[in-house]
Amino acid sequence: MSILETSDEVPTLAWRVKAKAFAANNKLFVVGATGFLFILLCAIFAPLIAPYAPDKIDFSARLQGPSWAHWMGTEKFGRDILSRVIYGAQTSLIIGTAVTFIAILIGAPIGIIAGYFGGRLDTLLMRVSDVFLAFPPLLLPIAITAALGSGLGNAMFAIAVSWFPWYARITRAAVLRIRTEPYINAARAMGVSHTRIMWRHVLPNSLTPIIVQGSMDFGFTILAAASLSFIGLGATPPMIEWGLMAATSRSMFLDAWWTVLFPGMAIFFTVLCVNLVGDGVRDVLDPKHGIKE
């Protein structure tokens, strides 16, 4: 038993040492992760943290600058901007998660099928995907949302649809490498069907680049959704969304700078943290990319 116990302890210790070494080598990841955790907690506990109800209109307190009562000031209906920024974190995180997932759900299966079967099917799927990449990054979501009608749901769908080819490409590249692995051949020799091989053997082994790309894109999707909301194609009032907050107040920017600055800062801070986390995730999962030892 004693042998078993010591052998149990060693990996834990090694794990802690590794985590510490990683943190020491990746200070930016720690900064990003801390910031992201902060935003996440804000989103989860928004009702507890926010000093005011985010949609409480108070005409006696219109367009007040930052003060002890309203740390980030108030907007033209007298609503507390700090409270709205805190609630806005919920929207942004949901958007980021949902869009990334939809993009992966569309892109990964296409990439797996294209990479696994190859040949004409591969050419067909990848060229169709390439069509989506031929548009400038924001133009396609704008066109799709314009066609479907504005609204946050449509905007999220539009961003996902214009972003999935990246996942198709990355997955395909991973699958091309895995397809020739001996265990795929061994599975074939065991009589495993193509569908099952793709699901059980190819997909799990090609997850790493998908996760890395997903964590890197998370910030982009938040930014893209905020941009769409800003030009009036995404979130609509009374939804609380940072891009929308900046948009509705932009005419007052020169007189009441706080109405635009703080939502904008929130977007900036969130995207920055998410990208720093994404870089860290890549360093962990993709050791070939820039080893820092």
Partner 1 sequence: MSTPVLQIAGLRVEFPGLLRTVKAVRGINLTVTGGTVMGLVGESGSGKSMTAMAALGLIPKPGVVHGSVKVDGFEVVGRRDAELAPLRGGEAAMIFQNPMKALNPFFTVGEQMTDAIRCHLPFDKKAAIKAAIAALESVHLPDPTFTLDKYPHQMSGGQIQRVMIAMALACQPKVLIADEPTTALDVTVQAQIISLLRELVATQDRTILFITHDLGVVASLCDNVAVMYAGEIVETGSVVDVFADPKHPYTQKLMNTVPRLGAGDQNLNFIPGQVPDMGFPPKGCAFHPRCDQADDKCAASAPDYMIFNNDHKAACHRLDEAP
Residue ranges in contact with partner 1 by CB under 8 A? 119, 181-183, 185-194, 200-201, 204-205
CB of 112 to partner 1, least distance (A): 15
CB of 83 to partner 1, least distance (A): 46
CB of 7 to partner 1, least distance (A): 12
Q: Nearer Cβ to partner 1, position 102 or 212?
A: 212
Q: Nearer Cβ to partner 1, position 112 or 223?
A: 112
CB of 119 to partner 1, least distance (A): 8
Q: Nearer Cβ to partner 1, position 99 or 114?
A: 114
Q: Nearer Cβ to partner 1, position 23 or 186?
A: 186
Q: Nearer Cβ to partner 1, position 119 or 136?
A: 119
CB of 186 to partner 1, least distance (A): 4
Q: Nearer Cβ to partner 1, position 101 or 183?
A: 183
Contact 46, 89 (CB under 8 A): yes
CB of 184 to partner 1, least distance (A): 8
